């Protein structure tokens, strides 16, 4: 029958083998228990010396915390691509609205109908699209880009709603 002390030694031996590679991360008391076992066990002494040799030959790289790493080039390109896509979607919607109003309405005979068509197109197509795009911008981009997009979209809406009326009344 195996004695209780022998069973504890086996458990201590197994635990020490598990903890030796991470000995520097241990608290003082468990570290001292493992080191005491290492002093009495030849197998654990060999493992400990290999771990120490490895750590001496391949020290951990010390990166200064205050040094900022440059963002990944592909991530920056992806970010620029998304911004370009957001602008392109806005222009495509505006182009569609303006093109269809020019194509379907005779501006000389009924300019107010064409203006009303553009205004309704702004509210039916452009407004929901920019709400989605502004939520997307607020989620994935910085505040400066969000406020720039919001100001630009507001000016576009105001231009198509109010300024076009001024041109037709002249």
* CB contact at 8 A, 86 and 56: no
* CB contact at 8 A, 44 and 20: yes
Angstrom distance (rounded) from CA 79 to CA 61: 30
What is the pLDDT, as a whole number, of residue 67?
A: 52
Convert the pLDDT of each residue in 118-140 to its tens digit.
888 888 888 899 999 999 999 88
To the question of pTM greater than 0.75 for the whole model, the response is no
With bands split at pLDDT 50, 70 and 90, how would you rate the model's confidence at 108?
Answer: confident
What is the pLDDT, as a whole number, of residue 135?
A: 92
Angstrom distance (rounded) from CA 148 to CA 153: 9
Angstrom distance (rounded) from CA 42 to CA 142: 59
What is the pLDDT, as a whole number, of residue 91?
A: 92
- Two structure tokens written together for 40: 């009495």
Convert the pLDDT of each residue in 12-23 to its tens digit.
888 888 888 888
């Amino acid at each position: 029958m195996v004695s209780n002390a022998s069973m504890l030694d086996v458990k201590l031996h197994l635990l020490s083998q598990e903890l030796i590679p991470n000995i520097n991360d241990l608290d003082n008391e468990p570290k001292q228990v493992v080191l005491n076992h290492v002093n009495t066990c030849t197998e654990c002494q060999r493992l400990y010396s290999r771990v120490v040799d490895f750590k001496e030959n391949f020290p951990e790289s010390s990166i200064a915390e205050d040094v900022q790493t440059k963002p990944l080039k592909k991530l920056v390109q992806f970010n620029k691509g998304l911004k370009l896509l957001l602008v392109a979607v806005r222009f495509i919607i505006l182009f569609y609205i303006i093109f269809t109003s020019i194509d379907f309405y005779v501006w000389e005979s009924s300019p107010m109908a064409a203006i009303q068509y553009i205004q309704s197109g702004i509210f039916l197509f452009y407004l929901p699209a920019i709400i989605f795009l502004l939520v997307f911008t607020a989620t994935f981009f910085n505040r400066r880009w969000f406020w720039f997009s919001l100001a630009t979209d507001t000016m576009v809406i105001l231009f198509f709603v109010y300024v076009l009326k001024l041109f037709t009344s002249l």
